Amino acid sequence: MRIVLLGAPGSGKGTQAQRLVERAGIPQISTGDLLRAAVARGSELGRQAREAMEGGRLVDDSLVLGMIRERLGEPDTRRGFILDGFPRNLAQAHALERLLEALQQPLDAVVQLEVDYRELVRRISGRRTCADCGRVFNMLTSPPAAGELCPKTAAPHRLTQRPDDNEATVTERLRVYDEKTRPLIDFYRARGLLRVIDAEGHVDEVTRRLARALGAPLRAPRRTRGAGTVKAAASKRASAGAARARSGRTARRKRPSLRSSRSKAAAKTARVARGKSRRPGSSGRGRLKGKRR
């Protein structure tokens, strides 16, 4: 599946993208993560992005698309990917469409997560991000599970709040979203790719709506399968099947020998009976001999 997730800030794109990663086994591609990784690696694209950010300029769409192209060339994207946070406007949508056509990786679906704006303000005020692994939580709707540890530090998540996650800033971000990003809904609807879901309610219910919108049930997260991964579980099933098959073959081999054993036992009983009948005095012949004497 090659998917774009659309939605206003706080609509749950990051949370649902993480769930898709766990259940569909395809990577999430976040332009923010790509920018940070490119800068950290010191690649040519990263150097140009750093110059733009240090100069207070927006990173050019061409740079972002170059990073997306690089990322889509990695092996884990062969089964699909989830684009989260890109495109944000019509110019980016057109550029992405051309890029994916050139790579022969067209989108399968674009999902719009709809949430009432008053709910968005409430959600964003409760949003927290782990400073170590970058995972996004919401203290109101999807807090960390009891005893959950950060996969990078093996310690409790260090939760931080973004400085722009306040009511005044959120209101402005929603205005920009209406102006720049909402037109993408009609853009993708015209291409027959758009799916719209209600993203309010419990996070598990939203995940089920997303699965229905994508037209394919999503498997349970791998980490819930206990010590065995999907591969281990399959191996266990295969071993059990092989054991049953061996048992069946053994049983089939043993059946003739059981019949043979019963036949031998019957023959032995018959021989013993014949032997007893030949003892002196135990048969008619023996009694006749005794009378002659």
Per-residue confidence (pLDDT) for residue 219, from 0 to 100:
63
Q: What is the pLDDT of residues 144-198, one digit of tens each?
A: 999 999 999 999 999 998 877 777 888 888 888 899 899 999 999 999 999 999 9
Element (DSSP H or E) covering residue 276: helix 230-277
The mean of the pLDDT values for the chain is: 79
pLDDT-derived band at 56 (thresholds 50, 70, 90) equals: low
Which residue pairs, CB below 8 angstroms and at least 24 apart, start in 167-170? 167/121, 167/125, 170/9, 170/10, 170/120, 170/121, 170/124, 170/125
State yes or no: cis peptide before 143, omega within 30 of 0: no
List the catalytic residues: 13, 88, 127, 162, 173
Total-model pTM = 0.62
Contact criterion met (CB below 8 Å) for 126 and 139: yes
Q: Report how far residue 17's alpha carbon sits from residue 46's, in angstroms, rounded to the nearest whole number.
A: 24
Contact criterion met (CB below 8 Å) for 150 and 132: yes
Contact criterion met (CB below 8 Å) for 153 and 40: no
Contact criterion met (CB below 8 Å) for 111 and 197: yes
Q: Report how far residue 39's alpha carbon sits from residue 134's, in angstroms, rounded to the nearest whole number.
A: 16
Q: What is the pLDDT of residues 225-270, one digit of tens each?
A: 433 333 344 444 444 444 555 555 444 444 444 444 455 555 555 5
Q: Report how far residue 43's alpha carbon sits from residue 280's, in angstroms, rounded to the nearest whole number.
A: 110
Summarize the confidence of residues 54-67 as an average pLDDT: 80
